[in-house]
C-alpha cells in the first residue's frame, strides 16, 4: 500500500466511524413532555374600563419620557379589543401596529410576549412561530386583577427591553 492509499483508507474508516452516530436514536424532544397542569391557565375576567386603561397608558408614557424613549402604547381589554392607544411624538410609524399586536398577542395567548421570545431565542422552539397572531418580542404584558385577565398592554418603538420596562410601569397601575 502506498502512503496515499493508506491515508485514503484511514480517512474513509474515520468517516465511517463518524457516521456510526447516525444509527443512534435522536435525543428526546422536550416538546414531548406532558405537563401535569395547563400552562398559562389564567381565566379571562371583565374588561378593563377606559379610565383605568388611560391611567396604565399614562404610566407607560411617563416611564418612556423619563428615558427619552419614543413609544406607542396600546391597551386592549380581556377580549383583545383595543380600548386606548397613544403614540408619542416622533415615534416610528411601524410601532403603531406593533404595539397593538403585542397587546393582542398577550391577551389571546394569556402570557407575556416575552414567553414567545424566550421559546424562540433560548429554547429553539420554532413551532411557536406558526401560531396565528404570535409576536416573538417582549413588550406585551397582561393586566391581571383578582387572578383574572382584564386586559393587556403593548409597547413598541424602542428595543424590546425598553418596551418591556414601559409596559411594566403600566401594569403596576393595575396591581
**pTM, whole model, 2 decimals?**
0.80
Distance (Å, whole) CA 119 – CA 109: 14
Average pLDDT of adjacent 10-residue blocks, the chain of 175 residues: 56 53 74 80 96 98 98 98 98 98 98 94 89 95 97 98 98 93
- HSE-CB for 148 with a 13 A CA cutoff: 11
Which pLDDT score, from 0 to 100, does residue 157 have? 98
Cα separation, 156 vs 147, whole angstroms? 26
Whole-number Å distance between alpha carbons of 55 and 61: 10
Please identify which residue in the block is written with the cell numbers 409576536: 135
Grid coordinates representing 165 are: 420596562
Closest by Cα among 165, 160, 170, 139 to 57 = 170
Topology (CATH) of 50-172: Beta-Lactamase (3.30.450)
- Nearest CA to 136 out of 170, 105, 100 is that of 105
Please name which of 62, 86, 84 lies closest in space to residue 73, comparing C-alpha atoms: 86
The separation between the first and the last C-alpha atoms of the chain, rounded to the nearest angstrom, is 80
Amino acid at each position: 500500500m502506498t502512503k496515499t492509499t493508506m491515508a485514503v483508507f484511514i480517512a474513509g474508516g474515520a468517516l465511517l466511524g463518524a457516521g456510526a452516530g447516525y444509527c443512534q436514536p435522536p435525543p428526546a424532544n422536550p416538546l414531548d413532555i406532558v405537563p401535569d397542569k395547563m400552562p398559562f391557565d389564567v381565566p379571562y375576567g371583565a374588561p378593563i374600563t377606559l379610565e383605568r386603561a388611560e391611567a396604565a397608558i399614562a404610566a407607560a408614557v411617563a416611564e418612556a419620557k423619563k428615558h427619552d424613549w419614543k413609544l406607542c402604547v396600546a391597551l386592549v381589554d380581556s377580549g383583545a379589543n383595543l380600548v386606548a392607544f397613544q403614540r408619542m411624538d416622533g415615534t416610528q410609524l411601524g410601532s403603531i401596529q406593533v404595539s397593538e399586536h403585542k397587546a393582542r398577542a398577550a391577551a389571546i395567548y394569556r402570557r407575556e410576549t416575552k414567553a414567545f421570545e424566550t421559546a424562540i431565542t433560548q429554547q429553539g422552539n420554532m413551532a411557536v412561530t406558526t401560531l396565528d397572531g404570535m409576536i416573538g418580542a417582549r413588550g406585551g404584558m397582561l393586566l391581571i386583577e383578582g387572578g383574572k385577565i382584564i386586559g393587556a398592554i403593548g409597547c413598541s418603538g424602542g428595543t424590546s427591553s425598553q418596551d418591556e420596562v414601559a409596559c411594566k410601569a403600566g401594569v403596576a397601575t393595575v396591581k
